[in-house]
Amino acid sequence: MLALLAIAVLLKAAWFSRLGLGQDRELVDFDAFYIVAKLVWHGTVEQAYQFAKLIVIQREASGGHDSFMPWTYPPQFSLLLAPFALIPVGIAYLLFTASTLALYLAVLRRIAGSRFVLVLIILFPTIGITLACGQNSFLTAALIGLVCLFFEERPAVAGVALGLMIIKPHLAIAFAVYAILRRSWVVVFTAGAVVLASSVICTALFGVQIWTALLQSVRDSSAFLEQGYYPLYRMISIYAALRTAGLSASGSFVGQVAVAVLALGVVLIAVYRKMPVRESLGLTAIVSVCISPYAYDYDFLIFGIGLALLLPALLANAREWERGIIYILPIPIGALGYMRATQMAASHKDPQWLDVLSIGGFAILPLIALIVGILLLRSSSSETIQSVPAQGPLARI
């Protein structure tokens, strides 16, 4: 499986380089990353947040294709991407994807221990999505994994990792709440310091106006989301699920708020019941993808971190058929996302049957509900964890 991933990265790097493949193609996520990295060096990164200008830049880069990818990332991510503009796009993709994939796999292996292969099989299609579009979810999922690994023993390291999640802050909300509820002030203040320091650096490099541009792009993208301009069928939020099922934007948003409250309620209950840290962190990880309406199929890798943490407890408490559902259901979620991602990368054909419903949005809720029910409604004690050896820093919590 690791060999297949290595081959896939190399082939995709050739695709980005247009070496016999991808000669006439739509832009995908890493193309957008590369464009913004170039804007950083040109001193015009604020244009990335001005959609009227960005759409022209992307159309020129794609050779006339009309697809458009709005830019709503905080300037910290733009700064992180800047060095990749100094090398050709294919090599940039290779370095970015290979390094973040290696980091994610290393963190996942540290958490999963002897069950690494099982988790890798479950997540394999979702890994394929990220490789197909060159997204940053290997990096964000690895950062969440580092928060979990070092939360107890090295809270400063966990705080740095949590602070670096400023590149996708909506996926870190549950962990910020968890750290506050646990009164882990080293984690909280270190994360805040990282956010503050990086914001000061970005302000010094890009100017104060970069924040005004960011806020405007967030407002514009919110309007786009409400009007259904985003590929909702690739999202895994309840908002996307309800919206693609025909519910109004306001009704779908109410559903999203309800699910977000329930997700944060799970974090609160896990802390209040003083569950073993491995279990409470795992629950926080799996519900973290339910908070925001803006969660894509590739963000499901964070769920994999939570699943790896929870496997010992699930093996001890879940029935065989329940474990079967937990192992199997993530695979079609990732597989459908992979097919959609590759289709979008190949051309801009009219939507097909799989481009209608947010299947992942409908599937992820019962999956998470099943896991939460097993761990919260059945007895869960420290003896559960002690009965199954763990590895790494989590071995002692």
- Asked whether residue 355 is domain-assigned, the answer is yes
Cβ-based burial of 59 (10 A; exposed 0-12, middle 13-18, buried ≥19): middle
What pLDDT shows up at residue 119? 95
CA nearest neighbour of 359 among 256, 233, 246? 233
> How would you classify residue 150: left for phi > 0, otherwise alpha for psi between -120 and 50, otherwise beta?
alpha
- Asked whether residue 347 is domain-assigned, the answer is yes
The token pair at 102 is 């290696």
- Asked whether residue 56 is domain-assigned, the answer is yes
Answer positive or negative: Cα dihedral of 328, 333, 334, 338: positive
What pLDDT shows up at residue 345? 59
- Asked whether residue 225 is domain-assigned, the answer is no
Distance CA 70, CA 97 (A): 21
* Count of the separate structural domains present in the chain: 1
What pLDDT shows up at residue 16? 87
> How would you classify residue 26: left for phi > 0, otherwise alpha for psi between -120 and 50, otherwise beta?
beta
What pLDDT shows up at residue 396? 46
- Asked whether residue 370 is domain-assigned, the answer is yes
Does the pTM exceed 0.75? yes
In contact, 102 and 130? CB cutoff 8 Å: no
What pLDDT shows up at residue 22? 54
- Asked whether residue 377 is domain-assigned, the answer is yes
What pLDDT shows up at residue 351? 47
One pLDDT digit (tens) per residue for the chain, 397 residues: 899 999 999 999 998 888 766 566 778 899 999 999 999 999 999 999 998 898 889 888 877 667 788 899 999 999 999 999 999 999 999 999 999 999 999 999 999 999 999 999 999 999 999 998 899 999 999 999 999 999 999 999 999 999 999 999 999 999 999 999 999 999 999 999 999 999 999 999 999 999 999 999 999 888 888 887 788 888 899 999 999 888 998 999 999 999 999 999 999 999 999 899 999 999 999 999 999 998 999 999 999 999 999 999 999 999 999 999 999 998 888 887 777 766 665 554 544 545 577 888 888 999 999 999 999 887 544 444 444 444 455 644 4
Range of the domain at 27: 2-220+230-396
